[in-house]
Amino acid sequence: MEEKLRQLQVEANGAIEAAQDVAGLEEVRVRYLGRKGEIADIMGKMKDLSNEERPLVGKFANQLKNEISAKLEQRRRTLGTGAAETEKVDVTLPGMQRRLGHKHPITQTMERINEIFLNIGFRILEGPEIETEFNNFTALNIPQDHPSRDAFDTFYLEDEFLLRSHTSTVQIRLMQKERPPLQAIMPGRVYRPDATDASHSFMFHQVEGLMVDERVTFADLKGALDIFAKQMFGTQTRVRFRPHFFPFTEPSAEVDVSCIICKGKGCRVCGQKGWLEILGAGSVDPAVFKAVGYDPRQYTGFAFGMGVERIAMLIYGVDDIRLFFENDLRFLRQF
Ligand SMILES: [Zn+2]
């Protein structure tokens, strides 16, 4: 009988080691320690033993029970480790940093531009990116076959619809709906079929502005843009107007600011000129007023438009417009 117990000891140890999960261990426990298990079976037969043998076998059987119990418990802990470990918190580990997102540099720049004009009485208006030919060209004094359409030509959709080439379309929508006085800026995405390179993209962002009332003059335009330039680029910034042609303004000008890098002395960024072109502007052409049903003898106004990417490139010192649209976080995280 002692021989039988030694055999059970070996078997039980092997079974405990072989058990792959808690359910397997429970089977082992029932087989050896259960009420009808192997050890209970031996205990039941002890009455047949001699008086000398009985206490020895009884002692060994009890030792074996305890041993199997201990090994089952030990094995259960080992098997349970996987699940238990993951719930443990190791307070000595360095914390996991979650990087917070932030606004895209183009959005940040556009919001800064909007804020400056909001502070001097302009309101913000938005409009659709899919527009009519009338709103994008005809109403802005750019009739069909006019050569200046080429400069603004765009992506045509079906019928008379197209992707707007400037946010001036929102000016037309505003003037068709409301009467002066009007004072608004129009931020948004615009499209032109330009080949993409370091300074061109087929899609970019604009902020345009419009002011219409009786007796609005070119001096009002200069004043508004001077405030903008000083708040955007610094109080030392100077502004200069160069005569230019736009179909929708007369007179028209391209507007430069003194170079924000060299302060006007001349450097690589400004091409040694000391000036940086930032926008186009002018007095609203009477033909535009006629197209929206205003009397050009009663009302005057000014309009301006700037590329947000251009401003962002100057402020942040970025030399390739494509970087803004590649979604490369290594680039975007810098702003
Ligand atoms: Zn410069």
- The residues pairing with 248 across neighbouring beta strands, listed in sequence order, are none
Q: Residue 94, SS3?
A: coil
Q: How far is the CA of 6 from the centre of ligand 1 (A)?
A: 95
Handedness of CA 286, 291, 292, 295 (dihedral sign): positive
Q: Which residue has the tokens 């087929």?
A: 202
For the beta carbon of residue 239, count every other beta carbon within 10 angstroms: 19
Query: By three-state DSSP, how is residue 80 classified?
Result: helix
> What is the reported pLDDT for 143?
82
How close is the Cα of 258 to the center of ligand 1, in Å? 8
Average pLDDT over residues 12-31: 87
**How far is ligand 1, taken at its centre, from the CA of residue 225, in Å?**
20
Residue 170 CA to ligand 1 center (angstroms) comes to: 34
Ligand 1 centroid to Cα of residue 237, in Å, is 12
Upper half-sphere CA count for residue 17 (Cβ side, 13 Å): 6
Domain 105-332 has CATH 3.30.930.10: yes
Q: Residue 155 burial by CB count (10 A; 0-12/13-18/19+): exposed, middle or buried? A: middle
For residue 294, how far is its CA from the centre of ligand 1 (angstroms)?
42
How far apart are the CA of 109 and the centre of ligand 1, in A?
A: 21
For 223-279, the pLDDT digits (tens) are 999 999 999 999 999 999 999 999 999 999 999 999 988 888 988 888 899 999 999
- In the structure, ligand 1 is a single-atom ion and the residues with CB under 5 Å from it are 259, 261-262, 267, 269-270
Q: What is the reported pTM?
A: 0.69
Q: Where are the domains of the chain?
A: 2-87, 105-332
Distance CA 47, CA 126 (A): 99
Q: Which residue has the tokens 């929102």?
A: 170
The DSSP secondary structure of 290-329, one letter per residue, reads HHTT--TTT-EEEEEEEEHHHHHHHHHT---GGGGGS--H
Ligand 1 centroid to Cα of residue 259, in Å, is: 4
Strands 203-213 and 182-191, bridge-based pairing: antiparallel
From CA 163, how far away is CA 128, in angstroms rounded? 9
Mean pLDDT of 323-332: 93
| 107-149 tens-digit pLDDT | 999 999 999 999 999 999 999 999 999 999 999 988 877 777 7
Find the 320 Cα to ligand 1 centroid distance in Å. 17
Mean pLDDT of 206-233: 96
- Distance between Cα 249 and ligand 1 center (Å): 29
Ligand 1 centroid to 276 CA: how many Å?
8
The C-alpha R_g of the chain, in whole angstroms, comes to: 41
How far is it, in rounded angstroms, from Cα 56 to Cα 2?
Answer: 9
**How many angstroms separate the alpha carbon of residue 319 from the centre of ligand 1?**
14
The single-letter code of the amino acid at 301 is G
Q: How far is the CA of 316 from the centre of ligand 1 (A)?
A: 14
Calculate mean pLDDT across residues 298-309.
96
Task: Report the pLDDT value the prediction gives residue 86, as an integer from 0 to 100.
Answer: 56
Phi, psi of 158 (to 5 degrees): -70, 160
Q: What is the pLDDT of residues 70-91, one digit of tens each?
A: 988 888 888 876 555 556 778 8
